């Protein structure tokens, strides 16, 4: 307990109708404090936009090095909405413990949900241990923030850390042959230049400033601070609990492990705690686990007049077999076609979270979405990333929502091949191909493209880029010249994209669902169904047996790489690039931004 806390905060944090215990009441033993019902949310771990996450044994996560189940963000939002609507609940307590991780779009939705709860008369209290920028932003939407005395605050602005390999490639004898349209296409620079070009650095910096503005404004508004002052705090970055309290970033300090006692003291009430129901634990049953590993997950049927949220996530690749972590062209198109033909589906919200990928696969998916939009209302909702091919697939003339923290645009294409001839020679490996002409050997790993081959391939890339420009111009009703002026591989924040006309509104997934409901003329109680459903555990074995490029890209997601990524060094996109070239691989035009350029808050 912290005796000074009540003196500082009790008056400001008391719920309507609550009373402070007086000295006379304390002397007589009479306690006239009101009863207060508090709904406690313990927000630990990482969160996915898919519903019902972590409900079943996930063999994919274990085999791919996962560190534990993710939790369902839609389920969390539903629980917050239920608590807000419950008249018996007086306060919401958010335990933002160490290790809690939210994306910026999720932060935006959480802040909106908390503000709705406050407008409904709920007292919202945040509990922080080790805070970071995203957690402080969420907490700042609450009435008050309590931090543990043993905690701290790492209030950083967003940053990127692309890794350049050009010097190492020169050292080991590896050469990159590149064709591209768009000088801002940062996916190829790590293989071409020893360091980032000045023009790309300036462009990324402008995007980071736009992304950071949401964080700064949200914290400044919630903490009643000047935005410039908040920005200065970011430059200091590290705050002890005492420093955070002194600067007004938190309201009070408390001992670790006293969340309930502290909140009871703040509310000065007799508190009835409500928590999420814990599932009854069952004894270890290896037979049941084995059964679940090999039992395909069944999707629930779609009720009549439903809004379907279709999640299209991961790198976009060509193929006919679904693989974890990728948006594969044929399975995605089949899922879209099934929704178009299902009479129970009244409208579809397409949730896009992708850095792009194959231009051919992107067009296959876009065409399927265009056909869906001819039959039913379609609205797009962009998550963390909807760039390059991830933006391409939204070019169907339908409304697009994004958050301030979304990265989108990157309208540009490229093709690249790495050649390892000198590197192989240095370790005693000599390739001695036999072919009828040079063209037959152009994809062999020991040689770069020659000038004639580059000219022919450049023509292909130019055609794909022209198609991309046309798709955007027609979808956004913009002049093609105007599109070219903001294309070239440039990436934009959600707010920048809105200002440029690349999206229609800043809004969350909930806003996109509300838009779809209006178009479909459905009531607020209409069902929302998410697709695709739970992953089939057998997909991992299909992938392991496939041996194709998509399998290779998935298999690079190993525990060691995840450890490096957590430290800010994400090598997986580069390893995918190295492993995806073989003598039999064809030429692929890509509309993709580097997946490691997702800013770290």
Give the three-class secondary structure for 493. Answer: strand
Could you tell me the pLDDT band of residue 481, with boundaries at 50, 70 and 90?
Answer: very high
Does residue 22 surpass a pLDDT of 80? no
| Dist CA 226 CA 576 (whole Å) | 45
- Across the chain, mean pLDDT equals 81
Give the CA count within 13 Å in the CB-facing half-sphere of 16.
Answer: 6
Rounded to the nearest angstrom, the gap between the alpha carbon of residue 501 and the centroid of all alpha carbons in its chain is 22
Q: What is the mean pLDDT of residues 236-254?
A: 95
Q: How many other CB atoms sit within 10 Å of the CB of residue 245?
A: 18
Q: Which neighbouring-strand residues pair with 208?
A: none
Distance CA 195, CA 264 (A): 55
Q: Which of 511, 494, 504, 480 is nearest to 386 (CA)?
A: 494
pLDDT value at residue 572:
56
Decide: 349 and 318 in contact? Cβ < 8 Å: no
Q: Say what the pLDDT of residue 408 is.
A: 95
For residue 573, the model assigns a pLDDT of: 55
CB-CB neighbours of 301 under 10 Å: 9
Closest CA to 378 of 411, 342, 410, 339: 339
Domains of the chain: 3-156+237-274 (3.90.226.10), 296-597 (3.90.226.10)
pLDDT at residue 27, as a whole number: 40
Q: Is 259 helix (H, G, I), strand (E, B) or coil?
A: helix
Sign of CA dihedral 476, 479, 484, 490: negative
Distance CA 61, CA 534 (A): 13
Q: Is the pLDDT of residue 199 over 60?
A: yes
Gap between the Cα atoms of 539 and 500, Å rounded: 40
- Give the whole-angstrom CA distance, residue 369 versus residue 572: 29
Greatest Cα pair distance, the chain, in angstroms, is 103
pLDDT at 418 over 70: yes
Distance CA 493, CA 332 (A): 26
Per-residue tokens: 264: 């009871």
pLDDT at 285: 57
Q: What pLDDT, on the 0 to 100 scale, is given for residue 483?
A: 95
Contact criterion met (CB below 8 Å) for 359 and 318? no
At 83, list the tokens.
């608590």
Which 8-state DSSP code applies to residue 142?
S
331, pLDDT greater than 60:
yes
* Chain segment 82-96, per-residue pLDDT in tens: 999 999 999 999 999
Task: Give the model's confidence band at 157: pLDDT under 50 very low, under 70 low, under 90 confident, else very high.
Answer: very high
pLDDT at residue 80, as a whole number: 96
Measured between alpha carbons, how far is 540 from 233 in angstroms, rounded to an integer? 45
Cα separation, 512 vs 520, whole angstroms: 12
Q: What is the pLDDT of residue 587?
A: 61
Return the CA Rg of the chain.
27
Distance CA 410, CA 491 (A): 4
More confident residue, 65 or 472: 472
The distance from CA 415 to its chain's CA centroid, rounded to whole angstroms, is 26
CA geometry: angle at 168 spanning 162 and 174, to 5°?
110
Residue range 353-384, pLDDT digits in tens: 999 989 999 999 999 999 999 999 999 999 99
pLDDT interval class at 281 (50, 70, 90): low
| DSSP character string of 112-140 | HHHHHHHHTT-EEEEEEEEEEHHHHHHHH
CA distance 501 to 476: 7
Query: In sequence order, which residues have a C-beta less than 8 Å from that of residue 403 and are 6 or more positions away?
Result: 104, 105, 108, 109, 214, 382, 494, 506, 507, 508
pLDDT number for residue 440: 86
CA distances from 59 to 69, 74, 289, 560 (A): 11, 22, 9, 18
Q: Mean pLDDT across the stretch 190-217?
A: 91
pLDDT at 571: 55
Does the pLDDT value for residue 58 go beyond 70?
no
Tokens of 31: 């306690």
List, as one string, the DSSP characters of 370-407: HHHHHHS-EEEEEEEEEETHHHHTT-SS--EEE-TT-E
pLDDT of residue 287: 55
With residue 89 as reference, give the H or E element that holds it: none
pLDDT digits (tens, 9 = 90+) for 484-543: 999 988 999 999 999 999 999 999 999 999 999 999 999 988 999 999 865 554 554 444
Distance of CA 231 to the CA centre of its chain: 24
Two tokens, residue 303: 């009720």
Strand pairing report for 175-181 and 413-419: antiparallel
Task: Give strand pairing partners of 273.
Answer: 38
Contacts of 214 by beta carbon, 8 Å cutoff, 6+ apart: 104, 108, 403, 404, 405, 495
Quote the CA–CA distance of 333 and 338 in Å, as a whole number.
Answer: 9
Q: Are 267 and 15 in contact (CB under 8 A)?
A: yes
Cis amide prior to 396 (ω within 30 degrees): no
275: confidence class by pLDDT, cuts 50, 70, 90: confident
* Contacts for 562 with CB less than 8 Å, ≥ 6 apart: 65, 67
| Cα–Cα distance for residue pair 241/252, rounded to 1 Å | 9
């Amino acid at each position: 307990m912290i005796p000074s806390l009540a003196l500082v905060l009790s008056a400001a944090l008391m719920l309507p109708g609550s009373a402070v215990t007086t000295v006379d009441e304390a002397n007589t033993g009479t306690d006239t404090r009101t009863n207060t019902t508090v709904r406690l949310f313990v927000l630990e771990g990482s969160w996915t936009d898919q519903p019902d996450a972590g409900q079943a044994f996930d063999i994919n996560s274990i085999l791919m090095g996962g560190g534990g189940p993710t939790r369902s963000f839609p389920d969390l939002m539903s629980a917050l909405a239920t608590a807000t609507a419950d008249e018996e609940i007086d306060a919401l307590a958010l335990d933002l413990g160490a290790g809690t991780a939210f994306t910026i779009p999720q932060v935006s939705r959480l802040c909106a949900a908390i503000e709705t709860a406050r407008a409904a008369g709920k007292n919202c209290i945040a509990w922080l241990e080790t805070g970071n920028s995203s957690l402080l932003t969420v907490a700042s939407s609450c009435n008050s923030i309590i931090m543990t005395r043993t905690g701290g605050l790492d209030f950083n602005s967003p940053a990127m850390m692309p890794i350049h390999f050009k010097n190492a490639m020169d050292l080991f004898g590896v050469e990159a042959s590149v064709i591209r349209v768009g000088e801002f296409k940062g996916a190829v620079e790590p293989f071409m230049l020893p360091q980032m070009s000045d023009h790309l650095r300036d462009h990324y910096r402008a995007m980071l400033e736009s992304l950071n503005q949401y964080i700064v404004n949200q914290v400044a508004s919630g903490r009643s601070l000047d935005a410039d002052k908040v920005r200065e705090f970011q430059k200091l970055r590290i705050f002890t609990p005492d420093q955070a309290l002194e600067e007004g970033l938190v309201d009070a300090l408390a001992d670790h492990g006293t969340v309930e006692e502290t909140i009871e003291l703040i509310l000065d009430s007799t508190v009835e705690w409500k928590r999420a129901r814990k599932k009854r634990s069952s004894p270890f049953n290896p037979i049941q686990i084995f059964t679940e590993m090999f039992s395909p997950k069944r999707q629930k049927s779609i009720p009549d007049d439903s809004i379907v949220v279709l999640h299209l996530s991961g790198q976009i690749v060509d193929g006919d077999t679904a693989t974890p972590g990728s948006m594969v062209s044929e399975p995605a198109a089949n899922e879209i076609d099934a929704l178009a033909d299902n009479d129970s589906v009244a409208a579809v919200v397409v949730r896009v979270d992708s850095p792009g990928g194959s231009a051919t696969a992107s067009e296959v998916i876009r065409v399927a979405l265009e056909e869906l939009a001819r039959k039913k209302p379609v609205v797009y909702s962009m998550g963390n990333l909807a760039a390059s091919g991830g933006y391409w697939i939204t070019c169907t003339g339908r409304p697009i929502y994004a958050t301030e923290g979304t990265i989108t645009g990157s309208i540009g294409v490229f093709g690249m091949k790495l050649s390892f001839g000198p590197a192989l020679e240095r370790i005693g490996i000599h390739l001695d191909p036999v072919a009828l002409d040079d063209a037959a050997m152009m994809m062999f790993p020991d040689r770069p493209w020659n000038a004639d081959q580059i000219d022919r391939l450049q023509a292909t890339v130019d055609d794909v880029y022209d198609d991309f420009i046309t798709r955007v111009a027609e979808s956004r009703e913009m002049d093609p010249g105007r599109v070219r002026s903001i294309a070239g591989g440039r990436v934009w924040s959600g707010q920048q994209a809105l200002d440029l006309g690349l999206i229609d509104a800043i809004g969350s997934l909930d806003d996109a669902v509300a838009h779809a409901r209006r178009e479909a003329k459905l009531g607020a109680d209409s069902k929302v169904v998410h697709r695709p459903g739970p992953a089939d555990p057998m997909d991992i074995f299909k992938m392991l047996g496939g041996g194709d490029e998509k399998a290779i890209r998935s298999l690079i997601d190993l525990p060691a790489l995840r450890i490096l990524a957590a430290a800010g060094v994400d090598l997986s996109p580069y390893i995918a690039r190295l492993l995806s070239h073989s003598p039999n691989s064809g030429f692929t035009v890509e509309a993709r931004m580097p997946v490691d350029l997702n800013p770290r808050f």
